[in-house]
Amino acid sequence: MDHYDVIKDALLYIENNIQQPLSLDSVANTFNMSKYYFHRLFSAMMGCSLNNYILSRRLNASLQFIQNDTLSLTDIAYRLNFGTQASFTRAFKHQYGIAPSSLRVKDTTISQMPIPSVVKRPIKNINGDIVTDFTLTEFKTIRVSGIAFEVDLATDDYKTKIRSHSKMLLDNIDKTINGPCYVIYSDCQPNSTRFKVLFGIPYDIQIDKPYYFTVDIPQLFCAKFKYFGDLLDIGDVLVTDFARFLKISKRETENSHIELIQAFDNIHNLDSAYHIYTPIKKLPIDSDF
């Protein structure tokens, strides 16, 4: 069983035993793994500690009990192993911003969240720290032609907007064109949730419609990661992976207006695995690149 399957099965085990006492020792033993290795593996794959994950899923399970109004808050606290109602209320307010009692006296509901998916990507062990596998590489200068637009990550429709604009490009290029394509994300201004997005291919295409541009992407020194799955659905995981990479590798981000580049091998197969390039500062030891 590979690391992906171990964590996937562990999430299901936790969900099925959410009312039982759960600990790092008990879960790791269930999968015949050292608790130290399991802790590092779980944290790397899920972006949080096992204990924090179990806490969040207990709180998620509490929503059904609260909103069904069949148990007292004290009973819910004990059933889900919070120990006391005070501990339960404190944790609930921290996660949801309101007291659990508010769900019973106000016209307020909170939807339960399904078991999170485990993002598939290769991992490696660096001096005992498990991180998403990476390589250091130069992203060579390339000219990309495609459709450019802006999105605001603070809005609910940015995923739909990115997908719809990507489809616009696919609908307007010759079906015989094959090869790679790129999605380039650039920040509009510091500390903003607005980003410029260019979805394009390394071909000189001429499309006489608004928003179609040809852009030269400069050479960049990058950390390169490989992922499986929709980037728009794994954004938080990518942020966590990159932060862990910076910490463990003792690297710094490059002062570039390009935030990241998503590279696909085939423009007609966007459901395949892809690589993420994130600009970082080059060190003297990287002179061979």
Listing DSSP states for 27-56 in one string gives: HHHHTT--HHHHHHHHHHHHSS-HHHHHHH
pLDDT 10s per residue in the chain (289 long)? 588 899 999 999 999 999 999 999 999 999 999 999 999 999 888 888 999 999 999 999 999 999 888 899 999 999 999 989 999 999 999 999 999 999 888 778 899 999 988 888 888 888 778 888 999 999 999 999 988 888 887 776 777 887 788 888 888 887 778 889 899 999 866 677 788 888 889 887 777 777 888 889 999 999 999 998 776 677 778 888 899 899 888 899 998 889 999 998 888 777 778 999 999 999 888 877 6
| Residue ranges matching CATH 1.10.10.60 in the chain | 3-117
Would you tell me which CATH number, out of the four given (3.20.20.110, 3.20.80.10, 3.40.50.300, 3.60.21.10), belongs to the domain 134-286? 3.20.80.10
Fold of domain 3-117: Arc Repressor Mutant, subunit A (1.10.10)
Enclosing H/E stretch for 184: strand 181-187
Q: What is the pLDDT of residue 156?
A: 63
* Distance from C-alpha of 185 to C-alpha of 220, rounded to nearest angstrom: 14
For residue 144, the one-letter residue type is V
pLDDT at 1: 57
Q: What pLDDT does 32 receive? A: 94
The rounded distance, in Å, linking the Cα atoms of 18 and 146 is 48
- Distance of alpha carbon 277 from alpha carbon 138, whole angstroms: 9
Span(s) in the chain for CATH 3.20.80.10: 134-286
User: What's the token pair of residue 80?
Assistant: 């889900």
